[in-house]
Amino acid sequence: MLFEPSFWQFNLDSGAVFRDKIVLIGGTTELAQDIHSTPVDVRMPGVEVQANAVATLLEGDGIRWLPRDLAVSLILGLGVGMGGLLFTQKQVGGKLGLTILAGPLILGGSYIAFLQTWMVPATALLSTVLVTGLIDTTALGIREQLDRLRLRRILAKRVSAAVLDEILNQPETFAQSLGGKVSQAAILFSDIRGFTTLSSQIDAQALVALLNRYFACMVTPILEQQGIIDKFIGDAIMAEFGVPLMRDEHSEALAAVHAALGMRRALSDLRTQLQAEGQPLIFHGIGINIGEVVAGNLGSPEKLEYTVIGDAVNVASRIEGLTKELQFDIIISQSVYELVQEEIQAICLGTYPIRGKREPATLYGVVDTRSGDGKLCQQVREEFSAYQMLIETTVSKS
């Protein structure tokens, strides 16, 4: 009908009405079988789809891809920014939350850009976030493993395997204590009696070898009771029970006493060996106290050492210093005794002044566990008394 001469001539002015125009011809009925589903209409004729496309091209407001340089800058900027944000998060939960949150934000921004006729490389942006998150998480895992290895190297020879595993399972707790943490702890000091005399009896190499044998015997009972070897000070040993992880005061005090009793047995066995080898005998004194300490890394930036300080530490050291005077190899403070008195046999040694303290302290000599026979305690005291007399006689003759 459109091209019939009469209609063309009279209705369309012989085609003049179409001059300088784009004309699309097509069917709009369902009979034409040219009906399409579109985002704006589920039943749009094909010719209308074509008309919209032509109109979009003519008006220049069609969907456009971002310029290549801008898209690359956007991807790189997102990667750097996301990496920076992830770096500020120290917990895995925070990192995961940021990564998940970035997805909806990218999709929402891409949709808004689409409404403004811009096509954003959403897939590339999402991939950037996922890759950045994966790299950061991997780096975090590597750092944590390195930290665990470093911590294991630091503590492996200072704590028992059980305590080390517990520390590694709670790295945050231990990390907090490195900066200084107030805690209750049982402190054990031990020192070789008459070390000056001993060192004058043998040469330097033999002395070092003998000390290493002694330390090896002493460390085992401490670690078995989940104590931590703080340091070796010449011929002395300092150990703690309750840091960096504490069970309860009773358990830590009892662990320290059991460790001391184990040290007594180990040294008795070592003396038997030394006597058979014709080497000088070793006796020691042990002092134990419990109280509040400050635990943390102390030292300079070049050398830090995890240790404890406080009045309780000083008192334990002073008690150990009284073992020679009181002729008892294991002496505990009253605070320790009150915690463990039901599990041990002990003798009240009386009240003695403690250097640096205004009030004298009541001290107890540990004989044995509650079920023990106490024979080793008596044997050690007799052996030391005889050894001391021998040394004094030798010195007086010389």
Q: First CA to last CA across the chain, in angstroms? A: 143
Q: Is the pTM of this model over 0.85?
A: no
Query: Rounded to an integer, what distance in angstroms lies between the CA atom of residue 4 and that of residue 12?
Result: 11
Other C-beta atoms lying within 10 Å of the C-beta of residue 174: 20
The reported pLDDT for the residue numbered 37 is: 84
Contacts of 355 (CB under 8 A, 6+ apart): 318
Residue 395 pLDDT > 80: no
**Of 286, 346, 292, nearest to 316 (Cα)?**
286
The reported pLDDT for the residue numbered 305 is: 72
The reported pLDDT for the residue numbered 163 is: 59
Other C-beta atoms lying within 10 Å of the C-beta of residue 45: 18
CB 252 within 8 A of CB 241: yes
Reported as type and span, the H/E element at residue 16 is: none
Q: What is the DSSP string of 243-271?
A: SSS---HHHHHHHHHHHHHHHHHHHHHHH
- 294: three-class secondary structure by DSSP: strand
Number of residues that make up the chain = 398
Q: What is the mean pLDDT of residues 311-319?
A: 95
Query: Rounded to an integer, what distance in angstroms lies between the CA atom of residue 225 and that of residue 51?
Result: 87
pLDDT tens track for 140-172:
777 777 777 776 666 665 555 655 666 666 666
Contacts of 167 (CB under 8 A, 6+ apart): 151, 155, 159, 173, 174, 244, 245
pLDDT tens track for 183-223:
899 999 999 988 887 887 788 899 999 999 999 999 999 98
pLDDT tens track for 285-310:
999 999 999 887 776 666 667 788 89
CB 85 within 8 A of CB 98: yes
Query: Residue ranges of the alpha helices (H) in the chain?
Result: 5-10, 46-59, 68-88, 92-115, 122-155, 161-169, 171-178, 195-201, 204-224, 249-277, 311-321, 323-326, 334-340, 375-397
Residue 70 pLDDT > 90: no
Q: Angle formed by the axes of helices 249-277 and 204-224, to 10°?
A: 150
- Residue 34's pLDDT band, with cuts at 50, 70 and 90, is confident
Instruction: List C-alpha distances in Å: 160 to 163, 165, 267, 283, 398.
Output: 5, 9, 20, 25, 46
The reported pLDDT for the residue numbered 287 is: 97
**Of 370, 334, 111, nearest to 261 (Cα)?**
370
Residue 177 pLDDT > 70: no
Q: Give the type of residue at 11.
A: N
The long-range contacts involving 149-155, CB below 8 angstroms and separated by at least 24 positions, are: 154/306, 155/228
Output the six-digit token pair for 283: 């006796």
The reported pLDDT for the residue numbered 238 is: 95
Q: Which of 52-66, 161-175, 227-241 has the highest mean predicted lDDT (pLDDT)?
A: 227-241
Q: What is the mean pLDDT of residues 231-251?
A: 90
